[in-house]
């Protein structure tokens, strides 16, 4: 009787967790529409209005907000722990069913639960790495573009040298030297090797903005270089940085999955989408579900990110905002 009551309570908690995830997606869409309707008609407001009218972008935003909520609430919405083995004797390689929506793997672990917990790791690693790379790239490009001259020349040559090395080869070389890698180290590695493109875009915009009237007026009013850079120039490149960060998020998710698939990223027993696919790669004929569902999770996530990123690029384009 007590076990039945606990099962019902667990089911109620899971149902509430799924409701919260759906509500998170709806709330994200509502926030964009609310922001597009209220307040004065500034460029950011018009950009939000353009984004809110894009139905594929709103669908992508709903999916991403729901995925983020699922990752955060994975311990609540997942029916099993990621490494739990409910039936070691006869539960191996079971196809999808009501008890195991995505089937089980060779160790009788629930694939659905592992995909949810794996998404928690994959999305967290990608988000933190993109945040780090965006900060580094913005700072580097802003300093190079604002000061110009010899400093800009030296910084750009360093950047050209870094861009000449394929990112995945650089990451693999570092991992090979380190031999073992933790999640924080992987975040640091992906972040430090991913800021080159962002810095080049920021530098180009800062070079253009520093010659415009807003910079001249700020200097005439006695503003220091630091104030001009932080209060006048960087806010004007924010839209470019946001779009670049959004689009790079999908690339980092794929890169992390590839590294984990190769066994040099997130390593078992910690689940990530890449190593879950690797677990099922040797049994595609007999246990196709082991690799299919985490692969679909990657495809859906990256597709939603790219759709939203393309919509943001159009919405924040000054020519679109001004209606020209």
pLDDT, tens digit, 9 for 90 and up, residues 221-255: 776 767 777 777 777 788 888 888 988 999 999 99
pLDDT of residue 15: 79
CA neighbor of 119 nearest in space, from 178, 72, 63, 87: 72
What are the tokens at 21? 């995830």
The string of DSSP codes covering 199-225 is HHHHHHHHHHHTTSHHHHHHHHTT--H
Largest CA distance in the chain: 80
Domain count, the chain: 1
CATH number at residue 105: 1.10.3720.10
Q: Bridge partners of 104?
A: 110
**3-class SS of residue 179:** coil
pLDDT of residue 43: 67
Tell whether 198 is covered by a domain: yes
Q: Which uninterrupted H or E stretch holds 58?
A: helix 55-72
pLDDT of residue 12: 62
- Which residue reads 């060779």 in tokens? 106
pLDDT of residue 299: 94
**3-class SS of residue 148:** coil
The string of DSSP codes covering 87-121 is -TTT-TTPPS-SSSTT-B-TT--BHHHHHHHHHHH
pLDDT of residue 11: 57
Total residues belonging to the chain? 324
Give CA–CA dist 248/129, Å, rounded.
10
Tell whether 140 is covered by a domain: yes
CA neighbor of 295 nearest in space, from 73, 39, 119: 119
pTM for the whole structure: 0.87
CA neighbor of 200 nearest in space, from 253, 251, 237, 249: 237
pLDDT of residue 40: 57
Print the domain residue range for 210.
Answer: 2-84+99-321
Tell whether 91 is covered by a domain: no
Task: List all residues 6 or more positions away from 294 whose beta carbon is below 8 Å from its beta carbon.
Answer: 111, 114, 115, 118, 273, 274, 276, 277, 280
Pair 121, 180: CB distance under 8 Å: no
CA distances from 85 to 99, 110, 141 (A): 13, 8, 50
Which residues of the chain carry a pLDDT beneath 70? Answer: 1-13, 38-43, 179, 214, 216, 223, 225, 318-324
CA distances from 197 to 162, 207, 254, 258, 317 (A): 10, 16, 17, 21, 19
Tell whether 185 is covered by a domain: yes
pLDDT in tens, 162-221: 888 888 888 888 877 776 778 888 899 899 988 888 898 888 888 887 777 767 677 777
DSSP 191: H
- Which residue reads 């998170």 in tokens? 24
Tell whether 207 is covered by a domain: yes
């Amino acid at each position: 009787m007590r076990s039945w009551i606990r099962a019902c309570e667990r089911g109620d908690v899971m149902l509430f967790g799924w409701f919260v995830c759906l509500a998170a997606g709806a709330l994200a869409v509502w926030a964009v529409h609310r922001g597009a309707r209220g307040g004065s008609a500034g460029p950011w407001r018009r950009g939000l209005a353009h984004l809110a009218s894009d139905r594929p972008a709103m669908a992508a935003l709903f999916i991403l907000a729901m995925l983020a909520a699922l990752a955060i609430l994975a311990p609540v919405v997942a029916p099993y722990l990621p490494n739990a083995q409910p039936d070691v004797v006869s539960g191996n390689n079971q196809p999808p069913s009501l008890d195991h929506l995505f089937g089980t793997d060779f160790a009788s672990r629930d694939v659905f639960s592992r995909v949810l917990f794996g998404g928690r790791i994959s999305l967290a690693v990608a988000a933190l790495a993109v945040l780090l790379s965006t900060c580094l790239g913005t700072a580097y490009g802003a300093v190079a573009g604002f000061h110009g001259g010899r400093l800009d020349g030296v910084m750009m040559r360093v950047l050209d040298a870094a861009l000449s090395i394929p990112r995945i080869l650089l990451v693999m070389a570092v991992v090979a030297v380190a031999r073992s890698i933790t999640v924080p180290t992987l975040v640091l590695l992906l972040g430090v090797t991913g800021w080159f493109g962002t810095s080049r875009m920021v530098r180009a915009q800062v070079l253009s903005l520093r010659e415009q009237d807003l910079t001249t007026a700020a200097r005439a009013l006695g503003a220091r270089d630091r104030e001009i850079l932080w209060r006048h120039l960087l806010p004007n490149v924010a839209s470019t940085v946001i779009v670049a960060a959004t689009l790079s998020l999908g690339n980092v998710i794929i890169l992390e999955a590839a590294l984990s698939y190769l066994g040099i990223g997130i390593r078992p027993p910690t689940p990530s989408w890449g190593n879950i696919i690797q677990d099922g790669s040797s049994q595609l004929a007999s246990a196709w579900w082991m690799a299919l569902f985490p692969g679909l999770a990657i495809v859906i996530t990256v597709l939603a990110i790219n759709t939203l990123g393309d919509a943001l690029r159009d919405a924040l384009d000054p020519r679109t905002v001004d209606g020209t």
